[in-house]
Amino acid sequence: MVVTSAPPDLQHLDQSWQKRLETLLAAGRSAGADLVEVFLERTDHLGVLAEQDGITSVSPAFGMGAGLRVFRGLRDGFVSTNDLSEGGLLEALDQALGMLGLMRSSAGLSGFEGLAPLRDHASTKTDWLERCPDLAQATARLLEGTAVLERHGQHLQVRRGSYARDWQEVLVAASDGTFARDVRLHQSLGLNVLAADGEHRSSIGRRYGSHGRPEQLQQWDADASAREVCESAGAMLYADYVEAGQMPAVLANRFGGVIFHEACGHLLETTQVERGTTPFAEKVGEPIAHEAVTAIDEGLSDGAFGSLAMDDEGMEPQRTVLIENGVLKRFLSDRAGELRTGHARTGSGRRQSHAFAAASRMRNTYIAAGPHTPADLITSVDRGLYCKSMGGGSVGPTGQFNFAVEEGYLIENGQLTKPVKGATLIGEAREVMPRISMCANDLDLAAGFCGSVSGSVFVTVGQPHIKVDSITVGGR
């Protein structure tokens, strides 16, 4: 029998929830579940769009919800709901238990010894939301951004600035005693332009993101960002289409790291081991990349978009060395991944929201710096492609990856020559990783969003300049 407790505060996810959560967890355990986990969240989102010299959209949103997951053996059932009332949570628990053939009962012994003392990662973050810019400040800064685009750009048909602020308060409780709270604050700024001159067109965008920095928007260097975007748009406006073929490529730092993220990072998540879709499942301790490559995933870098004080299963993140000098060292793992594959958790259990069960996901993922200068890499190529800026990419179910080159240049006789557009880099991780033969000394990170089994999550990709000895370039 579930005992009704004093109602917790719906406007705060804190210690006041302990009793209700313990009751819920005990009910799940006494029904026969091996483990019950509850994820509660409250969110507050603001999106602002500036186009040309006006604000065209202001989109606030707020919400709350819960995700309940019940494990028995290797199986689990997951239910999400917007209803955080006692009745709503019990209904969700019943549904999750029913998925595993279990029913709540007053007879069962729970074996649940209560929640551990709350690990409160949010105590120093309670003023984050208030310290963020208000609507007037946010709109003013965005309009400043689109104005400086106009100042620095030529042939700009469209100028856009966007700002998104995502505040999230989470409380995680599990029947193994886990009880943890956090507040997250992600802000991102984007500048996009479309340049057009007759039949020539180029579209360029940049995103700047942070975590846990309420003053990011105030501190943003709009002028520098606008210059960067306009320079790229100008360079690409009259670019020819790249000629398709197999060639060496030098990928610039920062968002160039999307190649590792897509080509290899996803294959080092235990979700892929569970599905049997990674070629690296049995390769721990073996070389899978060129010895020049050391790759890391961590959630610790101060202010980085993919950083977190705890993952969405209540575990503190780690610095996980994935590949060291070409040798595979670790997989990224969450609770279910550890259960089903044996790879120990790494604080990588992440989800977009309460509506998704956590899964092993990347955080800040990058290739470590090497000994070379970026110029060393370019001068080593007779004829190839320099990828200064990347668009998005994806990896298929058999490991083929692809990603678009937003800004590219031909390398001829060790020199950058003319800009080229329309390039897509395609390949397969197993084949490309051994071909990353040189890493420069200019590691830098860039913010991004990663969509996968547990929704879209904030990530950082990164790398120094790297050289891939040979890769397929799709073009015209």
Partner 1 sequence: MTVSTGTQPTTLNAEQLRGQLEQLAQRHGIHQWDLGASCSTDTSVQVDRGEAKQMKGAQRSAITVRVWNSDGLVGITSTSDLSPAGLEKALSGAKAASAFGNRDDTPAFSPLATAPLPELDQPLRPSAPILSLLDTLKDAERQLLERHPAIGTVPYNGLAQRRSERIYLNSAGACRQQRLTTASIYLYARAEEAGRKPRSAGAVRLAYGTADLDLAGCIAEAAERTISHLNYAPIDTGHYTCVFSPEAFLDLIGAFSSLFNARAVLDGVSLSSRESLGQQLAVPFLSITDNGLHPGNIGSSAFDGEGTPTRALPLLEGGVLANFLHSEATARTFGVAPTGHAGLGAKVSVSPDWFEVGAAPGSGGGQQGLDQHTQGDGQGLVVIDSLSALHAGVKASQGAFSLPFDGWLVRGGERRSIEAATVAGDIRQVLQAIVGFEGDAKVTPDGLCPHVWVDGLSITGEA
157-186: contacts with partner 1 (CB under 8 A):
157-158
Rounded CA separation 128/236 (Å): 39
Stretch that binds partner 1, among 171-179, 214-222, 418-426, 433-441 (CB under 8 A): 418-426
Answer yes or no: are the C-beta atoms of 320 and 281 closer than 8 Å. Answer: no
Binders of partner 1 in range 100-139 (CB under 8 A):
100-101, 135, 139
Q: Is 422 in the site for partner 1 (CB under 8 A)?
A: yes
Q: Is 434 in the site for partner 1 (CB under 8 A)?
A: no
Answer yes or no: are the C-beta atoms of 204 and 152 closer than 8 Å. Answer: no
Among residues 106, 219, 398, 413, the one that binds partner 1 under rule CB under 8 A: 398
Q: Is 2 in the site for partner 1 (CB under 8 A)?
A: no
H helix intervals, 84-203: 86-99, 128-131, 135-152
- Whichever of 153 and 399 has its CB closer to partner 1, that residue is 399
- Residue 322: both structure tokens together: 């994935």
| Per-residue binder mask for partner 1 (CB under 8 A), 199-218, x = binder | --xxx---------------
- Whichever of 162 and 294 has its CB closer to partner 1, that residue is 162
Q: Contacts with partner 1: how many residues (CB under 8 A)?
A: 82
Q: Is 326 in the site for partner 1 (CB under 8 A)?
A: no
Nearest C-alpha neighbor of 225 from the set 301, 157, 152: 152
Among residues 13, 24, 84, 420, the one that binds partner 1 under rule CB under 8 A: 84
Q: Is 56 in the site for partner 1 (CB under 8 A)?
A: yes
CB of 41 to partner 1, least distance (A): 10
Residues near 90 by beta carbon (within 8 Å), at least 6 away in sequence: 2, 24, 27, 104
Q: Strands of 455-463's sheet, edge to edge?
A: 327-328, 319-324, 295-298, 364-367, 455-463, 444-452
- Whichever of 63 and 108 has its CB closer to partner 1, that residue is 63
Stretch that binds partner 1, among 76-84, 114-122, 166-174, 181-189 (CB under 8 A): 76-84
CB of 35 to partner 1, least distance (A): 15
- Whichever of 368 and 473 has its CB closer to partner 1, that residue is 473
Q: Is 57 in the site for partner 1 (CB under 8 A)?
A: yes
Among residues 276, 285, 302, 413, the one that binds partner 1 under rule CB under 8 A: 276
Stretch that binds partner 1, among 53-61, 146-154, 165-173, 303-311 (CB under 8 A): 53-61
Question: What would the DSSP string read from start to end of 394-426?
Answer: EE-TTSEEEEEEEEEEEEETTEEEEEEE--EEE
Answer yes or no: are the C-beta atoms of 8 and 22 closer than 8 Å. Answer: no
Rounded CA separation 245/180 (Å): 52
Q: Is 426 in the site for partner 1 (CB under 8 A)?
A: yes
Q: Is 152 in the site for partner 1 (CB under 8 A)?
A: no
- Other Cβ atoms closer than 10 A to 85: 12
Binders of partner 1 in range 215-254 (CB under 8 A):
241, 244-246
In 23-142, the DSSP E strands lie at 35-51, 54-72, 75-81, 119-120
Stretch that binds partner 1, among 217-225, 226-234, 287-295, 396-404 (CB under 8 A): 396-404
Q: Is 96 in the site for partner 1 (CB under 8 A)?
A: yes
CB of 302 to partner 1, least distance (A): 30
CB of 376 to partner 1, least distance (A): 26
Question: What would the DSSP string read from start to end of 332-393?
Answer: B--HHHHHHH-PPP-S-EE-SSTTS--EE--SEEEEPP-SB-HHHHHHT-SEEEEEEEEEEE
Q: Which position has the token pair 């520098």? A: 224
Q: Is 77 in the site for partner 1 (CB under 8 A)?
A: yes
Dihedral sign, CA of 450, 126, 9, 165? negative
In 273-351, the DSSP E strands lie at 295-298, 319-324, 327-328, 349-350
Binders of partner 1 in range 355-384 (CB under 8 A):
355, 357
- Whichever of 22 and 274 has its CB closer to partner 1, that residue is 274
Answer yes or no: are the C-beta atoms of 21 and 38 closer than 8 Å. Answer: yes
Instruction: Kindly state the DSSP code that residue 16 receives in the 8-state scheme.
Output: G
Angle at 301 between CA 171 and CA 59, to 5 degrees: 55
CB of 167 to partner 1, least distance (A): 14
Stretch that binds partner 1, among 210-218, 270-278, 293-301, 374-382 (CB under 8 A): 270-278
Among residues 129, 194, 284, 369, the one that binds partner 1 under rule CB under 8 A: 194
- Whichever of 19 and 319 has its CB closer to partner 1, that residue is 19
CB of 345 to partner 1, least distance (A): 18
- Whichever of 176 and 431 has its CB closer to partner 1, that residue is 431
Stretch that binds partner 1, among 25-33, 183-191, 275-283, 433-441 (CB under 8 A): 275-283
Q: Which H, E and C letters describe 211-271, residue by residue?
A: ECCCCHHHHCCHHHHHHHHHHHHHHHHCCEECCCEEEEEEECCHHHHHHHHHHCHHHHEHH
